[in-house]
């Protein structure tokens, strides 16, 4: 309905877009009128002699008047691309098209009965050509085209049906449907392009809007200068700060206005010299503290500015914000505030949080009550910082701090410890439920979506708490124990609250021992590889095996990969372990049929290691496995830390002839740039999408279809992970995935069992 112009959705400036849509009419008016005139003359030629000449001329005159009226309406819309079009203008243009279409009904209804079948076919040919021309010329305004197509099509259909030519009637219906669908789709493409252009235009206005918002505050104002450093578009608040009117400062040199008598003497303060140099070098600056003279008084201003660029990219002056910080500068209380509060978020910093916790513990000791310390860590914040930059990350931290402020009462103090770590000190925690409620409120509030710089961001929060003096009698002990509880929350997947328990010390000790055992696991031959088959979706033949590491520790028993792989990555033990996996997998794959590949997972730590390429070459050469039979699986997260190094390493791997698969696509830091820049051999679709497709989730189905279509167009293969049931198998087959992996065809199994599959009549093993 929006494409046809019959409704305006709430999202987007549709008045503006509709203006862009209808402004295209004026450009084709002349051609459209000529096409109608030529068609009309052709109709007169067909029925000249069969229809009274007066009727033909009368019809032509009425048509010409209708065309003239429609052309005048189209010309009146020539400027709507620079304004919003009114509903009455849309209706007037639509009624013009309706009248024009009704006039064209006359030949079908009144002239056709006087001619024979051949003349009727000629009339239909002229009508079809006219409809086609209208579909092309009115592509941006499908409503006018559909009115013409509908009315003329119905009249032609009635004419053929009346004459008993049902084949032509059917052809008319099909032609009308094609014209209608083509018009709507063409208009949709036109509107999509206009929406994209409008979005680009809006982005260029974002900075201006943000700066205007500063003027709504109490202390900030906007300033703007041209290339000659003269004030332009003086804002009322800036003029008020100078003690002048906007008219008095417009066009005056910026430095002269704030320098006072120093402008005449040339004896500028060093801060003014610094500001002038920054303006001269055309570089951005932030929070530049400048001593100015306003109405004979010395003031301190804090100014930030950014160079403006024209549409052609040339320097066009400066614009920025400023505020009077005289009181802050001269007040020792404000200086102390800056030392004790975080400058980015405005929250108390680590120093003040530590002091507040010390006061709370002294209060608890004095009155025999309890206090509490909550340590908060943001989940997935690093991904935001790495992918969108520190500017967006800083803005996100500011939003987080605002939400934290809204949660605390007079009994609590929240602060920022540093990075993405925050804390809450609860002065009186006699009611333990209060600690739980605060923690749950923090997790719930911080997990809601954020709108930052046109990005919708989803992060979470993990919370660890400790109660004083029960869990510690000193500030350091209480903070350490809250940190242990927070670590447990992160280990459990984040987004949870855990209180301190003495067993957490044991857990930390267990992790230390686990690390010690992991360092000796290879020497003691405790590692083993299991293999999970990957089959062809069409004939269920084995195409490859994914090598998966298992650890049966002498000291700890069987240790889950979910537990020791992250530990290996944290301690960089993943590098020697990964080299061993490569060697063992290649050595085992040599025993398989020549057409079966082996896939090995590679972590970011391995890929960024300088010796990684050499370890791959060594594994291939020592085993004798052809490079084409080795496929390395990587996740999108490897591009976050050092995309350039990761890309170079993968390109070298590909040059050896090895395949590279992109694992868990769509669940991490998905970017089409990775697929565009690197020719992956396989894209692996995460099992969460497979399960979603099995349950009928339209999002999962759409994502899988899109990934398959993209992979096919780029000559890449697709593997669906986690297929466990026959229903999932049939759905994945129907969606076009080439390869399938999951428990339905086999769990990860020892090497001997994997080799035995090649001799079994049935591939699928017992569940």
| Mean pLDDT estimate for the chain | 83
Contact of 300 with 289, CB cutoff 8 Å: yes
Comparing 332 with 67, which gets the higher pLDDT?
67
User: Which residue, chain included where needed, has tokens 């600056």?
Assistant: 285
Q: Of the spans 106-120, 189-203, 431-445, which averages the highest pLDDT?
A: 431-445
Cα angle value 492/496/497 (rounded, 5°): 110
pLDDT at 298: 83
Strand partners, 457: 450
pLDDT bracket for residue 382 (50, 70, 90): confident
CA dihedral for 703, 736, 711, 182, sign (positive or negative): negative
Give the mean pLDDT of 290-303: 85
CA-wise closest residue to 597 among 654, 644, 550, 531: 531
Q: Which tens digits make up the pLDDT trace of 153-208?
A: 777 777 767 766 777 777 777 877 777 777 677 767 776 776 666 666 656 555 55
517: left (phi over 0), alpha (psi -120 to 50) or beta: alpha
Give the mean pLDDT of 489-501: 89
pLDDT bracket for residue 84 (50, 70, 90): low
Rounded Cα gap, residues 595 and 591, in angstroms = 11
Q: Please report the domains of the chain, with CATH numbers, ordered by start residue.
A: 14-200 (no CATH), 215-330 (3.30.450.20), 340-501 (3.30.70.270), 519-759 (3.20.20.450)
Give the mean pLDDT of 376-396: 87
pLDDT bracket for residue 761 (50, 70, 90): very low
Q: Which tens digits make up the pLDDT trace of 518-553?
A: 888 888 889 999 999 999 998 889 999 999 999 998
Comparing 156 with 574, which gets the higher pLDDT?
574
Contact of 124 with 140, CB cutoff 8 Å: no
Q: Which tens digits make up the pLDDT trace of 595-632?
A: 999 999 998 888 888 899 999 999 999 999 999 999 99
Contacts with 277 (C-beta within 8 Å, 6 or more apart), sequence order: none
Q: What is the DSSP string of 187-222?
A: HHHHHHHHHHHHHHHHHHHHHHHHHHHHTTSSSEEE
Q: What is the DSSP string of 106-128?
A: HIIIIIGGGS-HHHHHHHHHHHH
Residue 212 has pLDDT above 60, yes or no: no
Residue 495 has pLDDT above 70, yes or no: yes
Crossing angle of helices 390-407/432-446, nearest 10°? Answer: 140
pLDDT at 765: 36
CA-wise closest residue to 305 among 292, 293, 287, 290: 287
Rounded Cα gap, residues 166 and 286, in angstroms = 77
Residue 363 has pLDDT above 70, yes or no: yes
pLDDT at 261: 81
Percent of the chain past pLDDT 90, that is, above it, reads: 31
Give the mean pLDDT of 260-267: 79
């Amino acid at each position: 309905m929006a494409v046809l112009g019959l409704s305006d959705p709430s999202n987007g400036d549709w008045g503006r877009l509709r203006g862009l849509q209808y402004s295209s009419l004026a450009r084709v008016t002349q051609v459209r009128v000529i096409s109608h005139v030529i068609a009309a003359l052709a109709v007169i030629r067909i029925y000249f002699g069969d229809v009274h000449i007066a009727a033909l001329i009368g019809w032509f005159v009425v048509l010409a008047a209708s065309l003239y009226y429609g052309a005048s309406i189209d010309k009146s819309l020539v400027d709507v691309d620079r304004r919003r079009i009114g509903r009455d203008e849309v209706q007037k243009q639509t009624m013009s098209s309706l009248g024009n279409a009704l006039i064209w009904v006359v030949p079908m209804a009144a002239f056709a009965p006087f001619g024979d079948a051949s003349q009727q076919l000629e009339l239909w040919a002229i009508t079809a050509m006219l409809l086609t021309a209208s579909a092309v010329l009115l592509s941006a305004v499908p409503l006018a085209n559909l009115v013409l197509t509908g009315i003329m099509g119905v009249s032609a259909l009635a004419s053929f049906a009346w004459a008993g030519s049902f084949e032509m009637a059917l052809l008319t219906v099909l032609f009308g449907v094609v014209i209608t669908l083509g018009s709507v789709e063409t208009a949709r493409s036109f509107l999509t392009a206009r929406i994209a252009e409008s979005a680009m235009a809006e982005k260029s206005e974002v900075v201006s809007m943000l700066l205007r918002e500063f003027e709504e505050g109490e202390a900030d104002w906007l300033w703007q200068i041209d290339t000659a450093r003269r004030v332009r578009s003086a804002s009322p608040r800036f003029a008020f700060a100078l003690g002048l009117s906007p008219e008095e400062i417009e066009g005056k040199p910026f430095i002269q206005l704030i320098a006072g008598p120093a402008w005449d003497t040339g004896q500028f303060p060093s801060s003014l010299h610094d500001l002038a140099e920054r303006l001269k070098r055309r570089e951005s600056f932030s929070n530049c503290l400048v001593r100015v003279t306003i109405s004979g008084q010395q003031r301190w201003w804090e100014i930030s500015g950014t160079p403006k660029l024209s549409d052609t990219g040339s320097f066009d002056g400066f614009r920025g914000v400023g505020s009077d910080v005289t009181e802050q500068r001269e007040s020792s209380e404000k200086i102390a505030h800056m030392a004790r509060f975080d400058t980015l978020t405005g929250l108390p910093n680590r120093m003040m949080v530590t002091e507040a916790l010390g006061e709370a513990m002294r209060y608890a000791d004095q009155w025999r009550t309890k206090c509490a310390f909550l340590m908060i860590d943001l989940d997935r914040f690093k991904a935001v910082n790495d992918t969108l930059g520190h500017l967006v990350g800083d803005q996100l931290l500011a939003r987080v701090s605002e939400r934290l402020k809204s949660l605390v009462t007079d009994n609590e103090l929240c602060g920022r410890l540093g990075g993405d770590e925050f804390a809450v000190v609860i002065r009186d925690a006699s009611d333990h439920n209060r600690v739980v409620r605060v923690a749950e409120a923090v997790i719930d509030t911080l997990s809601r979506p954020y709108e930052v710089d046109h990005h919708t961001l989803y992060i979470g929060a993990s919370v660890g708490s400790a109660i004083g003096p029960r869990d510690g009698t000193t500030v350091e002990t209480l903070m350490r124990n809250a940190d242990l509880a927070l670590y447990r929350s992160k280990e459990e997947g984040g987004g949870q609250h855990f209180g301190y328990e003495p067993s957490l010390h044991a857990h930390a000790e267990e992790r230390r021992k686990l690390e010690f055992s992991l360092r000796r696991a290879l020497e003691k031959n405790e590692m083993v590889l299991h293999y999970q088959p990957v089959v062809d979706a069409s004939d269920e033949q084995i195409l490859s095996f994914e090598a998966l590491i298992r650890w049966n520790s002498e000291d700890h028993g069987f240790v889950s990969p979910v537990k020791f792989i992250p530990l290996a990555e944290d301690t960089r033990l993943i590098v020697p372990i990964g080299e061993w996996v490569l060697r063992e997998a290649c050595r085992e794959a040599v025993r398989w049929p020549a057409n079966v590949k082996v896939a090995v997972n590679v972590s970011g730590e391995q890929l960024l290691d300088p010796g990684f390429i050499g370890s791959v070459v060594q594994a291939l050469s020592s085993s004798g496995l052809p490079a084409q039979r080795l496929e390395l699986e990587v996740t999108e997260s490897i591009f976050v830390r050092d995309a350039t190094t990761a890309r170079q390493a993968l390109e070298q791997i590909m040059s050896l002839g090895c395949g590279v698969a992109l694992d868990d696509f769509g669940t991490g830091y998905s970017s089409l740039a990775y697929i565009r820049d690197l020719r992956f051999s396989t894209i692996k679709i995460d099992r969460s999408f497979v399960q979603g497709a099995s349950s009928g989730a339209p999002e999962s189905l759409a994502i899988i279809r899109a990934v398959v279509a993209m992979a096919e167009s780029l000559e890449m293969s697709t593997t669906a992970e986690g297929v466990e049931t026959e229903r999932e198998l049939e759905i994945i087959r129907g969606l076009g995935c080439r390869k399938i992996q999951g428990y339905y065809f086999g769990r990860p199994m020892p090497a001997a069992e994997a080799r035995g599959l090649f001799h079994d009549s049935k591939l699928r093993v017992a569940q």
